[in-house]
Structure 1
Amino acid sequence: MSGWPSQKLAGLWVVLPFPPRPSAGPPSRRRMRSSCVLLTALVALAAYYIYIPLPSSVSDPWKLMLLDATFRSAQQVSNLIHFLGLSHHLLALNFIIVSFGKKSAWSSAQVKVTDTDFDGVEVRVFEGPPKPEEPLKRSIVYIHGGGWALASAKIRYYDELCTAMAEELNAVIVSIEYRLVPKVYFPEQIHDVVRATKYFLQPEVLHKYSVDPGRVGISGDSAGGNLAAALGQQFNQDTNLKNKLKVQALIYPVLQALDFNTPSYQQNMNTPILPRYVMVKYWVDYFNGNYDFVQAMIVNNHTSLDVDEASALRARLNWTSLLPTSITKNYKPVMQTTGNSRIVQEIPQLLDARSAPLIADQEVLQHLPKTYILTCEHDVLRDDGIMYAKRLESAGVEVTLDHFEDGFHGCMIFTSWPTNFSVGIRTRNSYIKWLDQNL
């Protein structure tokens, strides 16, 4: 009777049954316990995915983590779509961005909004309310950001920004819907914004929108700031252009691709919304280059000392002399002795001032209009803007550098729920205030 419990009683062996196992409870309770364990695991995984270490000084850190996690998720979905051969990853990512934020050209009592085209380039025009005492309005040509590949003049973030500008400035805002990577590459984006702006500056077009020819400016954020800076330099050299721009306002602009180890690139290499690796990939995409070059470019192998093509331009972005000590801190320049000259041979656009306005000749900078540059502390592009401000000042241009210690890349367009950041509202107000005082 091995295997069964037994007890000897009065000379007899009595077989006893196994004691009953304790009950695990009713099935509903077991299911509830399993659900709680699963939910806890999912919450832990979500927290691990969302959480990234951020400086205490950044605006609304938890909200920024959530925004960054959302954007990273969209990027991963688009990369999967690309891997499966269904679409280019940038087309897929932009489809997601535009789908969640596209806004029709809806006019309000204060601002008239229309979609049209200027010389074949799509634009959205925002007209502020007419004022009898001011028959002619001032105007801004606005160029949206997005790494030359993403976003649209028609998504709500830019629609809301341009509406606010039109209303608060009593102005006409022309938001350009330029063509994007991968449908076109550099310099087609520049051609689009130049063509649309030249069309708008024609006397008959300015008259149609009741715009004062002497009060027109250009502006843009991120890659749009890059295009606005390139546009300003090109117009500055165009002797056939009768109407000159009064101001340019550049919002955390991307201005150079020669040094990806400025102090801000080193400090913010993993900071949302624009890590260094992603910015370098945007540059490569803009030029339809080879992704195999990305890692070499991150360590400045494309502008090493043995790359003769870059030697004459290094002095123009020598950040040890262009940046104050409060910015350089203990960061050291990354200057490789030997690198990969093949990169600039295959992508000579890296050294073209139309793509990198920061490296333009001093003579080109001298006659640029009054300039506003907004920079954010927690942004890889911070030093691009600060160095450009320094070069412009040295060329005799009147410059306002507006720096936000708690700002991050892209913050100015995040002003409404659920992506409303305190620094977004403050940067937008400061930007519009400067335009109001100087345009």
Structure 2
Amino acid sequence: MWETWVQSLGPEDPREKEMATHSSILAWRIPWTEEPGGLQSMASKELDTTERLHFHFQDAKDQRATHRKRNSIFWTTKSNLIHFLGLSHHLLALNFIIVSFGKKSAWSSAQVKVTDTDFDGVEVRVFEGPPKPEEPLKRSIVYIHGGGWALASAKIRYYDELCTAMAEELNAVIVSIEYRLVPKVYFPEQIHDVVRATKYFLQPEVLHKYSVDPGRVGISGDSAGGNLAAALGQQFNQDTNLKNKLKVQALIYPVLQALDFNTPSYQQNMNTPILPRYVMVKYWVDYFNGNYDFVQAMIVNNHTSLDVDEASALRARLNWTSLLPTSITKNYKPVMQTTGNSRIVQEIPQLLDARSAPLIADQEVLQHLPKTYILTCEHDVLRDDGIMYAKRLESAGVEVTLDHFEDGFHGCMIFTSWPTNFSVGIRTRNSYIKWLDQNL
């Protein structure tokens, strides 16, 4: 059986100026919300959306709420207006905002050396922990940032701070990959970037340059980065041409499938701030350069209805009624349409590709995977993706630690410093690094 860690709630400590910026950066994730009557437009729901974010980020009595609210609405509206006017893709506009406010130079400290370079044409940021005479060779993690395959950067403050902490506390070399994003490239180019950079790093001469032990290299990532890490892990550990295999994989609230958007966690958290269901489905469509007209049909699982033959062989691999414990399934019912829209998987066959949806991989692929850590959060549409993957890996004979946080929300692990310093962010990060320390 897998080991399960459940954590509890703690205090938080928001601050003024930068909080407005970061809450506005988060608000782009919720341009729409789902309600019983259907989808409501951003114009009618922007204020409510921002208020929901602030419920998580501050006390409702905070006198600065109005100022932050206006900032959030301003930036969300601005990026969508840019898209509407045809001046730029809305994801490019949003990421420009995120990176402009959050980008951090490669600054080294007394403990961690930080450098920007490229591995086989792919930009990376390398964090080198302090040398120790008693340990001439270091362990290493290749880290892949999240952001829906379209946003964020290895060079923004959140990921820079996470990787710096990992390098220092683990005395490790952390390679953070700056893979290309939607809409400049689409699936599977993001996977190609992380595979190319990781293969380059695993070359004996490169490992020697960074004083890395070839037998102590792992892969990790959060959200969409967890998706890419899982896909890379499946590819690497069955590649007979690779001399050095991955020792561990650590997946942080990973997104792992696009066939069922009505798992219990999708139903429970469909309107949860930061990553509501509609936004996650839209990320998938963006990743495949698909048609936005498909989004609403996918939300109700019309793309995998019983009359869609292409999906029939894969349903058992994500049958949550058998993969999830009753404490999770509760009274939720599967949403399985009798008839649907087969045109969706015909136009977007990538939906059925295990490189995009590692949860549907063959059992023979899963059994080659290394020791695995999966972190899940209760208030996250992706919770059940991670739990089902843990169950499938366990059934394939893989040693799995499932680390579940009852008070966790999607993205919480990178919120560890002001103005978005949450207790659960600090606890998830500490738990993650502790597992790496014990297993890498």
TM-score calculated relative to the size of structure 2: 0.83
Contact 2:282 2:295 in 1 (8 A): yes
- 1:309-343 Cα shifts (integer Å, max 9, x gaps): 00000000000000000000000000000000000
Shift of 1:236: 1.6
1:59 and 1:296 mapped to 2: Cα distance? Answer: 20
Could you list the runs of 5+ residues in structure 2 that have no partner in the other structure?
A: 3-7, 17-26, 33-46, 51-77
Contact 1:58 1:405 in 2 (8 A): no
- Are the structure 2 counterparts of residues 115 and 28 from structure 1 closer, same or farther at C-alpha, using a change threshold of 3 Å? closer
Shift of 1:60: 19
- 1:19-55 Cα shifts (integer Å, max 9, x gaps): xxxx999999999xxxxxxxxxxxxxxxxxxxxxxxx
- Are the structure 2 counterparts of residues 301 and 240 from structure 1 closer, same or farther at C-alpha, using a change threshold of 3 Å? same
- 1:176-207 Cα shifts (integer Å, max 9, x gaps): 00000000000000000000000000000000
Shift of 1:81: 0.9
Contact 1:58 1:378 in 2 (8 A): no
Q: Secondary structure at the match of 2:15?
A: helix
Shift of 1:61: 20
- Are the structure 2 counterparts of residues 25 and 258 from structure 1 closer, same or farther at C-alpha, using a change threshold of 3 Å? closer
What is the identity percentage for the equivalent residue pairs of Structure 1 and Structure 2?
Answer: 97
Instruction: Indicate the structure whose relative CO is greater, using CA pairs within 8 Å and at least 6 residues apart.
Output: 2
- Are the structure 2 counterparts of residues 339 and 169 from structure 1 closer, same or farther at C-alpha, using a change threshold of 3 Å? same
2:373 counterpart residue number: 372
Shift of 1:175: 0.0
Contact 2:11 2:423 in 1 (8 A): no
Q: Secondary structure at the match of 1:29?
A: coil
- 1:260-281 Cα shifts (integer Å, max 9, x gaps): 0000000000001100000000
Contact 2:49 2:273 in 1 (8 A): no
- Are the structure 2 counterparts of residues 303 and 137 from structure 1 closer, same or farther at C-alpha, using a change threshold of 3 Å? same
- Are the structure 2 counterparts of residues 131 and 299 from structure 1 closer, same or farther at C-alpha, using a change threshold of 3 Å? same
Shift of 1:237: 1.8
Contact 1:230 1:354 in 2 (8 A): yes
Shift of 1:432: 0.2
1:61 counterpart residue number: 31
Contact 1:140 1:217 in 2 (8 A): yes
Contact 2:354 2:361 in 1 (8 A): yes
Q: Which residue, 11, 15, 30 being the options, matches 1:26? A: 11
- Are the structure 2 counterparts of residues 132 and 336 from structure 1 closer, same or farther at C-alpha, using a change threshold of 3 Å? same
1:429 and 1:109 mapped to 2: Cα distance? Answer: 22
TM-score calculated relative to the size of structure 1: 0.83
1:309 and 1:25 mapped to 2: Cα distance? Answer: 46
2:216 and 2:30 mapped to 1: Cα distance? Answer: 36
- 1:129-150 Cα shifts (integer Å, max 9, x gaps): 0000000000000000000000
The alignment of Structure 1 onto Structure 2 pairs a total of residues equal to 384
- Are the structure 2 counterparts of residues 333 and 136 from structure 1 closer, same or farther at C-alpha, using a change threshold of 3 Å? same
1:153 and 1:378 mapped to 2: Cα distance? Answer: 25
Contact 2:30 2:275 in 1 (8 A): no
1:25 and 1:266 mapped to 2: Cα distance? Answer: 26
Contact 2:264 2:384 in 1 (8 A): yes
Contact 2:387 2:402 in 1 (8 A): yes
2:163 and 2:170 mapped to 1: Cα distance? Answer: 10
Contact 2:9 2:407 in 1 (8 A): no
- Are the structure 2 counterparts of residues 26 and 134 from structure 1 closer, same or farther at C-alpha, using a change threshold of 3 Å? closer
Could you list the runs of 5+ residues in structure 1 that have no partner in the other structure?
A: 1-11, 14-22, 32-56, 71-76
2:221 and 2:250 mapped to 1: Cα distance? Answer: 7
Shift of 1:78: 1.0
CA RMSD of aligned residues (A): 10.4
Q: Secondary structure at the match of 1:99?
A: helix
1:152 and 1:122 mapped to 2: Cα distance? Answer: 11
2:117 and 2:165 mapped to 1: Cα distance? Answer: 20
1:325 and 1:301 mapped to 2: Cα distance? Answer: 26
- Are the structure 2 counterparts of residues 304 and 114 from structure 1 closer, same or farther at C-alpha, using a change threshold of 3 Å? same
Larger radius of gyration: 1
1:161 counterpart residue number: 162
2:15 and 2:210 mapped to 1: Cα distance? Answer: 70
Shift of 1:211: 0.1
Q: Secondary structure at the match of 1:213?
A: strand
- 1:63-82 Cα shifts (integer Å, max 9, x gaps): xxxx9966xxxxxx211110
Contact 2:415 2:422 in 1 (8 A): yes
1:225 and 1:112 mapped to 2: Cα distance? Answer: 25
2:53 counterpart residue number: none
2:411 and 2:337 mapped to 1: Cα distance? Answer: 31
Contact 2:9 2:424 in 1 (8 A): no
Contact 2:221 2:250 in 1 (8 A): yes
Contact 1:378 1:408 in 2 (8 A): yes
